[in-house]
């Protein structure tokens, strides 16, 4: 490096990001300003799922949820890197925007126009999916502000309740053509969810499993299915149409267990 260039780099102009032009005064470079994002500030707890859910975010869909201090993904953002967000990005509903591929796969098997329960519904991605498919939907969660845009929908019942406060299952005695649960596990509810499946109805369940510890949160065994746990939950009650216990790559590497089972009782 020549002595002139070295002197310039150590000068105040060099420190300010200016570059020398031959025979002219230094001028500022046109470097675009970087917008910093801090997941810890945009997501105070579980943004990918719902407040009932105890897991984490889909980086593609992280959006600030100011009213409840939640982000669009569920979980504390640590285990999944959240997508960068521009300050000028348009506001979008919190909660994952894309329905689960597992849920989408089995929607056609839910009896036509039959009522559907979306448990721990979060931002309502599966409630919206089922409404579009022509089903009346009961959406349940501890916080339901993500469904505000659907308030008043003639086929949507919204129930705001804490599913883990020890009280009886709020929908005991009711039956549904479809029971949908994703990214949520509260073991005491498993028998109630199986009971809630009407004859010819489906249970569609997908959540994190043991082994997810190596990918990030959730790591707590209380929030991770044991090997074969969903199979055991439906044994003798529902017929298994599909079951998987595997590692997925989308939206982020995770160990999951998922099942679709039908109530074939007469």
Can you give the CATH number for the domain in which 120 is found? Answer: 3.40.50.150
Question: What per-residue confidence (pLDDT) applies to 250?
Answer: 87
**Residue 32: inside a domain, yes or no?**
no
Nearest to residue 207, comparing CAs of 218, 192, 194? 218
Q: Which position has the token pair 């590692």?
A: 247
**Residue 150: inside a domain, yes or no?**
yes
**Residue 221: inside a domain, yes or no?**
yes
**Residue 22: inside a domain, yes or no?**
no
Q: Which position has the token pair 């982000």?
A: 71
**Residue 154: inside a domain, yes or no?**
yes
- Report the percentage of the chain scoring pLDDT > 70: 64
List beta partners, residue 19. Answer: 27
Tell me the average pLDDT of the chain: 75
pLDDT, greater one: 185 or 96: 185
**Residue 198: inside a domain, yes or no?**
yes
Question: What per-residue confidence (pLDDT) applies to 2?
Answer: 52
Nearest to residue 102, comparing CAs of 217, 254, 243? 243
* Count of domains forming the chain: 1
Query: How far apart (Å, rounded) are the C-alpha atoms in residues 124 and 119?
Result: 10
Report helix, strand or coil for 266: coil
**Residue 33: inside a domain, yes or no?**
no
Residue 110 belongs to what domain range? 101-262
Length of the chain: 266
Q: What integer is the mean pLDDT of 10-21? A: 47
Q: What integer is the mean pLDDT of 238-256? A: 96
Which secondary-structure segment (H or E) carries 130?
helix 125-132
Residue 166 backbone class (left: φ over 0; alpha: ψ -120 to 50; beta: rest): left
**Residue 23: inside a domain, yes or no?**
no
Those residues with Cβ within 8 angstroms of residue 99's Cβ, 6 or more apart along the chain or in another chain: 125, 126, 128, 129
Confidence of residue 40 (pLDDT cuts 50, 70, 90): very low
The predicted-structure confidence for 71-106, as pLDDT tens digits, reads as follows 333 333 323 222 222 222 333 334 457 999 999 999
The predicted model scores a pTM of: 0.66
Using the predicted structure, report yes or no on whether residue 145 has a pLDDT greater than 80. yes
Which secondary-structure segment (H or E) carries 13?
helix 12-15
């Amino acid at each position: 490096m020549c002595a002139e260039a070295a002197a310039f780099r150590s000068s105040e102009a060099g420190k300010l990001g200016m570059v020398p032009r031959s025979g002219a005064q230094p001028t500022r470079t046109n470097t675009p300003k970087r917008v910093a994002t801090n997941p810890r500030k945009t997501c105070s707890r579980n943004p990918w799922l719902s407040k009932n859910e105890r897991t984490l975010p889909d980086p593609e869909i992280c959006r600030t949820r100011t009213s409840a201090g939640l982000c669009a993904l569920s979980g504390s953002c640590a285990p999944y890197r959240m997508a960068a967000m521009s300050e000028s990005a348009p506001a979008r509903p919190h909660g994952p925007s894309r329905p689960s591929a597992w849920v989408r796969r089995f929607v056609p098997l839910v009896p036509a126009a039959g009522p559907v329960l979306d448990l721990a519904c979060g931002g309502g991605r599966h409630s919206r999916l089922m409404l579009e498919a022509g089903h009346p939907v009961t959406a349940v969660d501890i916080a339901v502000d993500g469904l505000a845009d659907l308030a008043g929908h003639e086929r949507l019942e919204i129930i705001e309740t804490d599913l883990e406060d020890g009280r009886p299952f709020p929908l005991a005695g009711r039956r549904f053509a479809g029971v949908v649960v994703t990214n949520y596990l509260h073991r005491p509810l498993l028998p109630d969810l199986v009971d809630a499946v009407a004859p010819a109805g489906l249970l569609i369940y997908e959540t994190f499993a043991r082994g997810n510890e190596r990918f990030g949160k959730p790591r707590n065994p209380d929030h991770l299915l044991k090997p074969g746990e969903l199979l055991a939950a439906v044994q003798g009650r529902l017929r298994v149409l599909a079951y998987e216990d595997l590692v997925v790559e989308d939206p982020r590497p995770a160990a999951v267990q998922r099942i679709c089972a039908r109530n074939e009782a007469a």
